[in-house]
Amino acid sequence: MSSFTQEKDYIICENPTHNTAIKIMKSHNLNILGVDINEDGLDFNMLEDNLIKYKNKIKFAYITPSYHNPTGIVMTPENRYKFYNLMKKYNIAIIEDGFNEELLYNSSHIFPICSLDNMNNGVVYIGSFSKILFPGMRIGWIFADKKVINKLESVKRCRNIHVSFLDQGILFDYLSNGGFEKYIKKIRKFYGDKFNFAYKCIKKYIKTEYILGDGGLHIFIKLKNIDTRVY
């Protein structure tokens, strides 16, 4: 974020969104424009209102379209096209977070937004192995235009000259020999069973206004007549 923004720049993100992402944005003194998520997904009316109100002021949009944290929802293909075209119309770059996109249980894979961008250099697609392998594997990846990657490499060298070659070498070998694909098949069933069990228990035992969650590691519930922030 610091590579492409200055203090007081405006950014768009989902509301709610990943807590750590919010902390990073605030640490850089960015103005956050949260767009509500409800039972139907992203509130596009609210999004368009912000785009009009802050036209030419918004630097980028941070979004997790697949298995969103913390709601677990998956943006439909139609809404992915709609979101991408809106950002393109207003000339706003997209940071697309695909941190646990592999953890689909009950549906087929939906294309990432970055696949719509072709050679336009409008989407930076990021992900991590820490959620799908284990938390100690602090290795992530970025898929973006070469000019963007070069700039990010330059910034990284200023802040952290080297990362562990041992960790990267082990991961590279694991990805190359087919072990990762076998592991993904196992954890999809493991986490899928847990997800479905938790979902059924919530519907049976907890009074809710609605439940959100299509997969991944999150289920989001709206409780009836209870403000959880009070507690």
Q: Which domains does the chain have, with CATH numbers?
A: 10-157 (3.40.640.10), 184-230 (no CATH)
Residue linked to tokens 């997969």 = 215
Q: What is the pLDDT of residues 153-181, one digit of tens each?
A: 888 888 877 778 888 999 999 999 988 98
On the question of pLDDT at 48 being above 90, the answer is: yes
Model confidence at 3, pLDDT cuts 50, 70, 90, reads confident
On the question of pLDDT at 107 being above 70, the answer is: no
Residue 4 has what pLDDT?
Answer: 83
On the question of pLDDT at 92 being above 90, the answer is: yes
On the question of pLDDT at 12 being above 90, the answer is: yes
102-114 mean pLDDT: 83
Which of 219, 188, 224, 189 has the alpha carbon at shortest distance from 202?
219
Give the residues across from 41 on adjacent strands.
38
Residue 231 has what pLDDT?
Answer: 60
Furthest CA-CA distance within the chain = 53
Which of 170, 176, 13, 37 has the alpha carbon at shortest distance from 95?
13
116-123 mean pLDDT: 85
